[in-house]
Amino acid sequence: MSSQPLRIVVIGGSAAGPKAAAKARRMDEHAEITLIQREPDLSMASCGFPYYVGGTFDDRNMLVCTPAGIVRDPAFYGKAKRIRALVRTEATEIDRVAKTVTYRDLPTGEQSTIPYDRLVIATGATPLRPSVPGIELDGVTTLHSMADADALRAVRDEKKATKAVVVGGGLIGFEVCEALRLAGIHTTVIEKTRQILPFLDPDLSKLVENHVRAHGPDIIVGNGVAELLGENGKLVGVKLENGTELPCEVAVIAVGVRPNIKLAQAAGIEIGSVGGIRVNPQMQTSDPNIYAVGDCVECTSLISGKAVRAPYGDLANLQGRVAGQNLVIEGSASFPGIIQTGICKIFDYAVGFTGLSAKDAGEAGFDDIETAIISGLDIPGYMSGKLLISKLVADRKTGRILGFQCIGPGDVSKRVAVVAMAIRGKLTVEDMVNADLPYAPPYSLAIDHVISSAQVMDNKLQGRMQGLSASEVKHRIDTGADCFILDTRSPQEFEETRLGIGETLIPLGALRDRFAELPQDKSKEIILYCRISLRGYEGAAILDAHGWHNVKVMEGGVVAWPYAKEK
């Protein structure tokens, strides 16, 4: 230990900054650690804001307290962590030559300068705001800061607002949408691009859309906001690019975030190719005494090797810990990179993803991928299993798993976490086909959904199943393509619900006896499905073996059909 205590300064006091500071403290009890935070609160669980706004809990302190119930205020930081936390304090300049940070006490405006041996930049990100007229109206907000959370929670508690618009159909947009709905406010989500939830491929995204609508909110896609309409400075409506006007008292902007890099940039620290601070695996910036962590940095994708932005709370914490360790022992810890794993709750659905979507895989340069959409239960029917609908993406040549998306009322989070680990371990479809997972009826099927997904993918890779997505089938119908559509469910299931796309019903068990009802032209395209397309797949194997040679399975079956049904 040196005789002079190490001087550590951390800028940003929400997730990544405090984590770095706390870890540095555990690594070096004698260091002088100062945390500079612009906002009045510290250690805010931003990810919990939607649940506070939506009334899952009512005590605001729960967003800023330890598991033992102590609020993480400057007094706590002083006592429990021996970290000097300055709140309502903005760092305004980094002088890399003098190794100092200049900061301003916001209430008084007083400026000070503090020297550092090691500095951490954890300034986070700022929500983007479309530059449209009316963006400054009262009633227009984001959900990013604690102040935003307080304001939106007040909207709930006041019970006055009746209509809201959420601009942006991403994770946070839909969390906000649900929270507003739970506050009894009718909400419309506006998404400029053609689909909601950009990390999903369109097939699954459309199913989530339906789910949201079934819970009340409206969704408008392919239409941006043109103007926010006000009266006396107050929001009264939103005008879309196509001219539609939606009256509302509240508009929440959730169109993404941009890394806060100004301080770093001004100090001449290198910015990366996708707009975040560039760091090495030790979370070190281009200045070896300066680390950067959290939403303000860019990460490396472990799948594509490319620079990517990944503004997630878990990563902020992991990166903070790595930096905290390196602050004290340089090079002692590394953050290897990310695979883009996330999840959110949208009413009764969980919506999760890990790795690359088909779309992303193409962009990342994987030009020979296979995908499979699979429906199934999370646990057995006799244990009241719930539905999961997934899409698995794999590299054809190597069999390597590249990505997985999963949605539904079933236990999505487990399946996404499992595939995330599989991707982390660079496992192939073949490895996953025979994974040894914990099986008991309260927790999984004998063949868990993720293994089933790999088995279906295996079948596709081996050419034992030819798949079509619901949208490909829909396109055939819409364009009047010449194909024979076969529903292999039972008459009873057909009576309860059916697509009505010109299908013929032949239950799987009767198929071998009813070949006469199938096209005589054995090269005609036949498309099979059932509820989840398991029986569809079995039927396809039968037809294949009997000489039909253009047999396809509509992947995911009836439950993954996102379009209107006959009944």
Ligand X SMILES: CC(C)(COP(=O)(O)OP(=O)(O)OC[C@H]1O[C@@H](n2cnc3c(N)ncnc32)[C@H](O)[C@@H]1OP(=O)(O)O)[C@@H](O)C(=O)NCCC(=O)NCCS
Do residues 104 and 111 lie in contact, with contact meaning Cβ atoms separated by under 8 Å?
yes
What φ, ψ does residue 164 adopt, rounded to 5°? -135, 155
Residues 10, 20, 25, 46: which binds ligand FAD (CB under 6 A)?
46
Contact status: 321 vs ligand FAD (CB under 6 A): no
Give the one entry of Ca ion, its own copies, ligand X, none that residue 34 binds, where binding means its C-beta sits below a cut-off of 5 to 8 angstroms depending on kind.
none
Residue with tokens 């986070």: 124
Q: Dig out the tokens for 490 from the structure.
A: 């039972």
Residues 427, 447, 542, 559: which binds ligand X (CB under 6 A)?
447
Q: Least distance to ligand X from the beta carbon of 148, Å?
A: 14
Q: Least distance to ligand X from the beta carbon of 404, Å?
A: 15
Give the one entry of Ca ion, ligand FAD, ligand X, none that residue 143 binds, where binding means its C-beta sits below a cut-off of 5 to 8 angstroms depending on kind.
ligand FAD
**Ordered alpha helix ranges (H), 98-249:** 146-158, 171-182, 202-214
Residues 89, 340, 452, 488: which binds ligand X (CB under 6 A)?
452
Residue with tokens 């304090």: 89
Which residue number, 166 or 433, has a Cβ lying nearer to ligand FAD? 166
**Residues 6 or more apart whose Cβ sits within 8 Å of residue 388:** 375, 376, 377, 378, 406, 407, 408, 410, 411, 412, 415, 449
Of 459-478, binders to ligand X (CB under 6 A) are 459
- Per-residue binding letters, 215-254, with ligand FAD (x by CB under 6 A): ----------------------------------------
- Distance CA(345)–CA(363), nearest Å, equals 27
Angle at the Cα of 195 from the Cα atoms of 385 and 208, rounded to 5 degrees = 15
Q: Least distance to its own copies from the beta carbon of 510, Å?
A: 7
Give the one entry of ligand X, ligand FAD, Ca ion, none that residue 50 binds, where binding means its C-beta sits below a cut-off of 5 to 8 angstroms depending on kind.
ligand FAD
Q: Least distance to ligand FAD from the beta carbon of 86, Å?
A: 9
DSSP assignment letter at 331: T
Instruction: Give me the residues that bind Ca ion (CB under 5 A), please.
Output: 312, 314, 341, 436, 439
Q: Least distance to ligand X from the beta carbon of 383, Å?
A: 11
- Distance CA(453)–CA(449), nearest Å, equals 6
Burial class (CB in 10 A: 0-12, 13-18, 19+), 424: middle
Residue with tokens 């959110």: 344
Give the one entry of ligand FAD, ligand X, its own copies, none that residue 90 binds, where binding means its C-beta sits below a cut-off of 5 to 8 angstroms depending on kind.
ligand FAD
Q: Least distance to ligand FAD from the beta carbon of 455, Å?
A: 17
Residues 124, 337, 467, 557: which binds ligand FAD (CB under 6 A)?
124
Report CA-CA distances (Å) from 498 to 471, 480, 486, 537: 17, 19, 12, 18
Q: Are strands 218-221 and 186-191 parallel, antiparallel or unpaired?
A: parallel
Question: Total binding residues for ligand FAD by CB under 6 A?
Answer: 37
Sign of CA dihedral 91, 92, 95, 98: negative
End-to-end CA distance of the chain: 74
Of 357-416, binders to ligand FAD (CB under 6 A) are none
Closest CA to 369 of 398, 328, 390: 398
Of 89-108, binders to ligand FAD (CB under 6 A) are 90-91
- Per-residue binding letters, 89-128, with ligand X (x by CB under 6 A): ----------------------------------------
Which residue number, 304 or 341, has a Cβ lying nearer to ligand X? 341
Which residue number, 67 or 109, has a Cβ lying nearer to ligand X? 67
Residues 6, 33, 37, 228: which binds ligand FAD (CB under 6 A)?
37
Report CA-CA distances (Å) from 212 to 51, 168, 247, 404, 538: 17, 14, 20, 21, 33
List residues binding ligand X (CB under 6 A).
14-15, 18-19, 22-23, 26, 43-48, 313, 316-317, 321, 374-376, 446-447, 452, 455-456, 459, 532-534, 537
List residues binding ligand FAD (CB under 6 A).
11-17, 36-39, 46-47, 49-50, 90-91, 122-125, 143-144, 172, 260, 263, 294-295, 311-314, 316, 342, 344, 439-440
